[in-house]
Structure 1
Amino acid sequence: MYHPYFRGKQFELIAIRETAALMAESRFVPIIEPVREALKGLERTLTAICDAGGEAIVIINPAHGDHAEDGVSISTLLGNGFLDKDGISAGILLTHDMNVGEAVGCHSQHQAHRPVFIHAGFTEAKALAEALGSDLPETRHVFFERHCHKLYRKHLKGSKMRVLLRDGFERRRNADYPPVELFSDLHLTFEEEDMDGFGDFLIVGDDYIEGGGPAYAVAIHLTFLDPGKDEVMYIYHFVSTTRDTPTDPGGKFAQALAKLIAQLDSGTSKLFSSTAIAEFRELHEKGHFPGLGQVKKLSMRHHIETLVDFFSK
């Protein structure tokens, strides 16, 4: 079903922990690419997922962050703490600089961790399928859509699971976001794409950025499903009015939040009444700025809760 892709920063891991029970109940399977050297937060997150009876895929060879050169410590964490947890799988990121031998070897090495191929720039799908041979029907595959055209994915047809990841979030400078734009219809069409599931990069996007610069503008990104347009998903960008100075992020957040509250109070926002929306209302009532990381976390939680509600109907 739904596979949200997280890059394992602090507030992303917290968002997973806070929605672990919801995702387990809905059979959503987060994909986590650890990007921070310290793995305690990841360990707590995986424990929360297991305690909720959920599943997750943890990439053991990240392309970004502190483990990009060596993911041994991630494999060690899985082996020491989660080898006996059926819900935790090892994700093998297949990038442009990997060959078939390396891909198959990594898959064999992590067989005890229920491995999943994550296709993110790898070019030899046909050769990989041939190398897997009779084992292909037992393999699982997740495809970054921007790297994997239909013919590429077709070579791995017949495998146990195929999931398509689409990046619905177009990253811009905060000041340049339009008030609303299309996000994705993949939650409606993944079966027509001959997929078993779908995923996205939530309200963060696939582009990896290590750290943000000064906030000349603050934006709150919130997704919604439009019942008047066949439940296609759109995204609001509530952007602060002040955009010409790097100071006062709290004041800019208040401006963006006021726009969100006005849209909610209009009665036409179409935003799902998530727990995250309730927290945004509380922040507005208190006049409190929780920090930009917390704001991003709330937006991610809202996105997950919106899809939980959609698939529960």
Structure 2
Amino acid sequence: MYYPYLRGKQFELILLRDNAEFLAKNNIHPIIEPVKSDFTALTRSMKAMNENSVEYTLIVNPVAGQKPVPSSSILTELIENEFEKLKTISVGYMLHAESNIHDLVELLEKHPDFNFSILHYGYTNGKKLAAAIDGYENIKIHVFIDGFAGKLYQRYLKKDGIKRVLIRDGFKPQKKNAHYPSNEHFSDLHITFPDEGMDGFGDYLIVGDDYTETGGPAYAVAIHLTYLDDDDMFIYHFISDQTDSPTDPGGKFLEALAKLVKKVNKPKSLIFRSRACAEYLKLYKMQHYPGLGYVKKLSMQHHIELMANFISRES
């Protein structure tokens, strides 16, 4: 199963809401780390996922952002007050270097009817953790963040009945959009996760783990699009020709989009004709710039559709 990891920015939440039926049909399990204290958009996305029986994890103690959203407000407003309606939610708890496992145990005991996903993001004492949480049957998934949970640590947490998922960041961010290569390797985890002793895999889509509240001025516009070549995953970076000033983002987008369209229409193109790809072609035909947030949403949607297509072919 595929577990895409999303921060709760506006267009990421719209992506989940608009694709809820698709996520359910393809057994895709989103992991959401809220980054906004206004839960309006998140609530709408949760409603759509609940109505379509999408299994998803909502992290209740987020760490992203300069001022992380308080755990108490997520638990109270989004989960405890709505629990009877939330049939497919898993409560996500982030364990990092500064975590106190007694807080996790207290939460497990307080909510025995909740399903829990534990995200391992820098906590180091796997043996102590395994002893502390042994016997809690409401733990359903261990999510290991690659680079923050070693092999020995993972071994302590191997237990029948609990799924194991590995999240690996395939996106390699550049300080400036103009510095991206035309294409590069993204990931092979969708193929190799069983070799890692995992039941599922995930990534940060085409955004990456490095979280920023807002981006700086776009001197160049980049459209990121993943593709498969002999089932290995790579990513195209379509860069605008204009790179020397922050003006004319719409014109820069159309420059980058023209390169995308040329690659899509090339004989034996490796780009999967997703619904998101079709939307890119439509935007090119209209010569319309929808805003960079929408562009990022489309590339994220394409990545999810590509993963779903690969999994359906392999199953």
Which TM class, normalised by the smaller chain length?
over 0.9
1:90 matches 2:91: yes
Partner of 2:172: 170
Contact 1:34/1:67, CA 8 A, preserved across alignment:
no
Equivalent residue number for residue 208 of structure 1: 211
Whether contact under 8 Å (1:222, 1:235) holds in the other structure is yes
Residue 10 and residue 70 in structure 1: after superposition, are their counterparts in 2 closer, same or farther (change >3 A)?
A: same
TM-score (norm 2): 0.94
Deviating more after overlay: 156-165 vs 288-297:
156-165
Q: 1:281-300, aligned counterparts within 5 Å? A: 281-300=281-300
Alignment of 1:128-167 (within 5 A): 128-135=129-136, 138-159=139-160, 160-167=162-169
Q: How does 1:93-242 map to 2 (within 5 A)?
A: 93-135=94-136, 138-159=139-160, 160-172=162-174, 173-227=176-230, 231-242=231-242
Cα deviation, residue 69, structure 1 = 5.6
Partner-residue secondary structure (3-state), 2:4: strand
| Matched residue SS, 2:58 | strand
156 and 287 in structure 1: CA distance in 2 versus 1, 3 angstrom threshold: same
Q: 1:19 maps to which residue?
A: 19
Question: Any runs of at least 4 consecutive aligned residues in structure 1 with deviations exceeding 4 A, and if so which?
Answer: 136-139
Match of 1:79 in 2: 80
Contact preservation (8 Å) 1:4, 1:31: yes
Q: Deviations over 1:3-49 (max 9, x none)?
A: 00000000000111122111111111000001011101111101111
SS in structure 2 at match of 1:238: strand
In structure 1, the residue corresponding to 2:130 is in which secondary structure? helix
Per-residue Cα deviation, 1:156-203 (whole angstroms, up to 9, x for no partner) = 011511100000001112111101111111111111111110000000
Distance in 2 (alpha carbons) for counterparts of 1:31 and 1:69: 16
Alignment of 1:49-64 (within 5 A): 49-64=49-64
Q: 1: CA distance between counterparts of 2:112 and 2:184? A: 42
Pair 1:123–1:17, CA change in 2 (3 A): same
User: Aligned residue pairs: how many?
Assistant: 310
Please list, as runs of the form range in 1=range in 2, the aligned pairs for 1:298-309 lying within 5 A after superposition. 298-309=298-309
CA distance in 2, matches of 1:174, 1:2: 28
The residue matched to 1:49 in structure 2 has which SS?
helix
Q: Could you tell me which runs of 5 or more consecutive residues in structure 1 were left unpaired when the two chains were aligned.
A: none
Q: Give the 3-state SS of the residue equivalent to 2:194 in structure 1.
A: coil
Aligned counterparts of 2:3 and 2:214: Cα–Cα separation in 1 = 25
Counterpart contact for 1:83–1:113, Cα < 8 Å: no
1:231-270 matches, within 5 Å, as 231-270=231-270
In structure 2, relative to structure 1, the CA distance for the partners of 1:8 and 1:157 (3 Å cut) is same
Query: Which residue of the partner structure matches residue 46 of structure 1?
Result: 46
Rate the CA distance shift 1:143–1:13 in 2: closer, same or farther, 3 A: same
Structure 2: 5+ residue stretches without partners: none
Instruction: State the AA in 2 paired with 1:223.
Output: T
- Contact 1:10 1:41 survives alignment (8 Å): yes
